[in-house]
Amino acid sequence: LLSLIFTITFSHAQTVQWAWKVVDKSSQYSDKQYSAEQALGIPNVLPAFRESPCAWSPFKKENRLDEYLHLEYKNPMRIKQVAIAESFNPGAVSRVYLYDIQGKEYQVYKNETPHPLPDAGRMNVITFPLTSYMVKQVKIVLNTVGMSGWNHIDAVAISDSDVPVKADINLIKDMKFES
């Protein structure tokens, strides 16, 4: 018997969604600059790392209570990662929760000892096995005690891929700069 074997390769492009709506927040530094709305959409500050009014900042530098940012995504989807653009003074993220379309909560990350990092900022990529449920919302909890200084979240993405989400500047190919 002659057997034919067909190999089909499916190319799965990475789907990345950036938060589009603020569900809730513990506090914010002001109603415009440093507000929770600054964490919506693509990063405003990254790939640079610096203090910026274009990122969410809690009201106090070192609050004794947890600070949090609860965000929603336009199209619920199964995911493998949450990418948190910590654009200034990273290291305060202590917990990350996912919420399905029924509002059920799932904890996917816990850091018992948040502490300041030597870097000015980072894209904090938290990975886990593909969720069996459709993720609609993400809640990021910060423990700012001992962080000395402000903590900024520039943006929060979800993705269905193992490829880490990055904040890159899109440059036009073959662009010529003239002086």
Query: pLDDT: is 17 or 8 the higher one?
Result: 17
State residue 157's pLDDT score.
Answer: 97
pLDDT bin (cut points 50, 70, 90) of residue 179 is low
State residue 7's pLDDT score.
Answer: 32
Question: Nearest-CA neighbor of 92 among 48, 40, 146, 134?
Answer: 146
Query: pLDDT: is 6 or 103 the higher one?
Result: 103
Query: pLDDT: is 3 or 72 the higher one?
Result: 72
Q: Over 70: is that where the pLDDT of 4 sits?
A: no
Average the pLDDT over 148-162 and give the result.
Answer: 93
pLDDT digits (tens, 9 = 90+) for 42-67: 998 877 788 889 999 999 888 777 99
SS3 99: strand
pTM for this one?
Answer: 0.85
pLDDT bin (cut points 50, 70, 90) of residue 174 is low
78 neighbors 135 (Cβ within 8 angstroms):
yes
The span from the CA of 73 to the CA of 163, in Å, is 19
